[in-house]
Amino acid sequence: MDFLLQIPEFITWLFGYIIPFLVVLTVIVFVHEMGHYLVARWNGVAIQTFSIGFGPEIFGWNDRLGTRWRVSAIPLGGYVRFVGDMNAASMPDKYAGADLPPEERAKLFVFKPVWARIAVVAAGPAANVLFTFLVLYALLFGYGRYMIEPVIEEVLPGSIAAEAGLLDGDTVTSVDGYPVRGFGDFQKLIATSPERPVTIVVERPEGPREFTLVPEAAETTDRFGNVHRVGRIGVSRGVTLEDYVLYRPGPLEAVGMTFEEISFIIQRTGEFLGDFFVGRGDVEQLGGPVKVAQVSGEVATLGVLALINLAALLSLNIGIFNLLPIPMLDGGHLMYYAYEAVTGRPLSQRVQEMGFRVGVALVATLMVFTLFNDIF
């Protein structure tokens, strides 16, 4: 009887969190791996496997070129495995192709010119960035953006903004060089800069004025009860529905605005990661699969467009993460190939194997830490 009572809860959990999470993750993984796959094909690389997920195969098929397309049991990633790789991380097999004729050896990734290998590896993160651009552009150009005037209604007495010299009625035009088209842009740029200097440009009747200040770190709770660490400077603005105006950029302006958004995300992500190296990072903001599943489920309640937007933003972050210079990740491979391009010779097999082991240990440690952080 108790089991029957738990069925509705299980269905809610399945359709509310797990399925949106798997949909988002599968799209991101497919985009990333398809980038590797297409550029590898263009460079004549023989591809053994294209897998969504890890572990045992659930189902799959072989294409006419001999590649095995498969969906695997553990849906937490994926890989493209080239002929001649020792494993799914594309660690080269030093014995691969030893007995093959020259025309077959030329199809192995390990024997391709270094610039071709760099292009194949970089294509995964590049595909993530391109996917993010296309989605954000389509949403912006197709639906526009609701905005309110970027006018500061009240500067709180004794606040950071008041001490810096901001005044009631100031119209904000930019923050850290990013154009401010609406008050939401201003809030976002300040909120993502806790305890980091920001430069604010405002327009006054006598002309533009520039101020540099450091937002204080504060905690805020979103509509789903999640706590976030954000920047605050002590300004406010009252808003009514009548204040919102739908802004529809033209096709070229939408391109520029999309580039601005992607540049902003990359910069803030880099600053977020950099904070951990100086002891200023907030470990509670790190999340793993549990947190992504939670966020995916919460965003799914806001509608399909919100979930698509989340997939685009996560795709960009996955692309950035994969470029970190950690062996096993794309950035680690690129680091090896950059050394080879500069020196004219590859790193020794022994050094590469040691690097891959260190990379596996680092990534595994990060996964365990983020999973622990998610749960507790």
Cβ-count burial of 343 within 10 angstroms (0-12 exposed, 13-18 middle, 19+ buried)? Answer: exposed
Between β-strands 216-221 and 198-204, what pairing exists: parallel, antiparallel or unpaired?
Answer: unpaired
pLDDT attached to residue 259: 94
Same domain, 228 and 315: no
pLDDT attached to residue 315: 93
Sign of the alpha-carbon torsion through 254, 255, 260, 266: positive
Q: Are 311 and 318 in contact (CB under 8 A)?
A: no
pLDDT above 60 (res 1): no
List helix spans (H) across the chain.
2-13, 19-42, 102-105, 114-143, 160-164, 183-191, 251-277, 289-300, 304-322, 330-343, 349-375
Instruction: Using the structure block, give the residue that is written with the tokens 């903004």.
Output: 161
Per-residue 3-state assignment (H helix, E strand, C coil) for 90-147: CCECCCCCCCCCHHHHCCCHHHCCHHHHHHHHHHHHHHHHHHHHHHHHHHHHHHCEEE
pLDDT confidence of 59, banded at 50, 70, 90? very high
pLDDT attached to residue 293: 62
pLDDT mean across residues, the chain = 84
pLDDT attached to residue 5: 47
Same domain, 285 and 373: yes
pLDDT confidence of 372, banded at 50, 70, 90? low
Q: How far is CA 288 from the centre of its chain?
A: 13
pLDDT digits (tens, 9 = 90+) for 250-307: 999 999 999 999 999 888 888 877 766 665 655 555 555 666 666 666 776 777 888 8
- Six-digit token string for 219: 């905690």
The reply to whether 93 falls in a domain is: no
Task: Return the C-alpha torsion angle 107, 110, 115, 120, nearest 10.
Answer: 80
pLDDT above 80 (res 128): yes
Answer with the one of 214, 247, 280 that is the final residue of a domain: 247
User: 294 by DSSP, 3-state: which?
Assistant: helix
Amino acid in position 82: F
Same domain, 139 and 265: yes
- Distance, in Å, from the CA atom of 281 to the CA atom of 288, rounded to the nearest integer, reads 16
pLDDT above 70 (res 369): no
The reply to whether 94 falls in a domain is: no
- Six-digit token string for 117: 């290998």
33 has catalytic annotation:
yes
* 346 against 3, higher pLDDT: 346
List helix spans (H) across 238-284.
251-277
* 128 against 105, higher pLDDT: 128
Question: CB within 8 A of 170, min separation 6: which ones?
Answer: 151, 152, 202, 203, 204, 209
The reply to whether 68 falls in a domain is: no
Task: Tell me which residue of 233, 236, 60, 247 sits closest to 160, measured CA to CA.
Answer: 233
User: Which DSSP category does 332 fall into?
Assistant: H
Q: Which of 33, 153, 260, 271 is catalytic?
A: 33
- Range(s) of the domain holding residue 180: 145-247
pLDDT digits (tens, 9 = 90+) for 321-334: 899 888 888 999 89
Same domain, 126 and 264: yes
Phi-psi region of 328 (alpha: psi -120 to 50; beta: other; left: phi over 0): left
pLDDT digits (tens, 9 = 90+) for 72-112: 998 888 899 988 776 555 555 555 555 667 777 788 888 89
Task: Return the C-alpha torsion angle 190, 196, 197, 198, nearest 10.
Answer: -20
Over residues 330-359, mean pLDDT: 86
Same domain, 153 and 139: no
The reply to whether 362 falls in a domain is: yes
Express as a percent the part of the chain with pLDDT over 90.
46
Over residues 42-59, mean pLDDT: 92
Same domain, 293 and 233: no
The reply to whether 70 falls in a domain is: no
Number of domains in the chain: 2
CATH code of residue 239: 2.30.42.10
Task: Tell me which residue of 87, 90, 88, 49 sits closest to 67, measured CA to CA.
Answer: 49
pLDDT attached to residue 335: 92
Answer with the one of 201, 216, 247 that is the final residue of a domain: 247
- Six-digit token string for 230: 């954000």
The reply to whether 278 falls in a domain is: yes
- Distance, in Å, from the CA atom of 134 to the CA atom of 190, rounded to the nearest integer, reads 26
- Distance, in Å, from the CA atom of 315 to the CA atom of 124, rounded to the nearest integer, reads 11
pLDDT attached to residue 326: 85
The reply to whether 56 falls in a domain is: no
Same domain, 184 and 202: yes
- Distance, in Å, from the CA atom of 142 to the CA atom of 309, rounded to the nearest integer, reads 13
The reply to whether 100 falls in a domain is: no
Same domain, 309 and 218: no
Question: CB within 8 A of 95, min separation 6: which ones?
Answer: none
Same domain, 236 and 269: no
- Run of H or E residues at 77: strand 68-82
pLDDT attached to residue 361: 80
pTM here?
0.84
Express as a percent the part of the chain with pLDDT over 70.
81
- Distance, in Å, from the CA atom of 1 to the CA atom of 190, rounded to the nearest integer, reads 52
Same domain, 243 and 259: no
- Six-digit token string for 282: 């907030």
pLDDT confidence of 346, banded at 50, 70, 90? confident
pLDDT digits (tens, 9 = 90+) for 147-197: 999 999 999 999 999 999 999 999 999 999 999 999 999 999 999 898 889
Strand partners for 154: 236
pLDDT confidence of 356, banded at 50, 70, 90? confident
Same domain, 345 and 196: no
Answer with the one of 199, 228, 247 that is the final residue of a domain: 247
Over residues 12-38, mean pLDDT: 83
- Distance, in Å, from the CA atom of 228 to the CA atom of 208, rounded to the nearest integer, reads 33
Over residues 24-32, mean pLDDT: 92
Same domain, 178 and 118: no
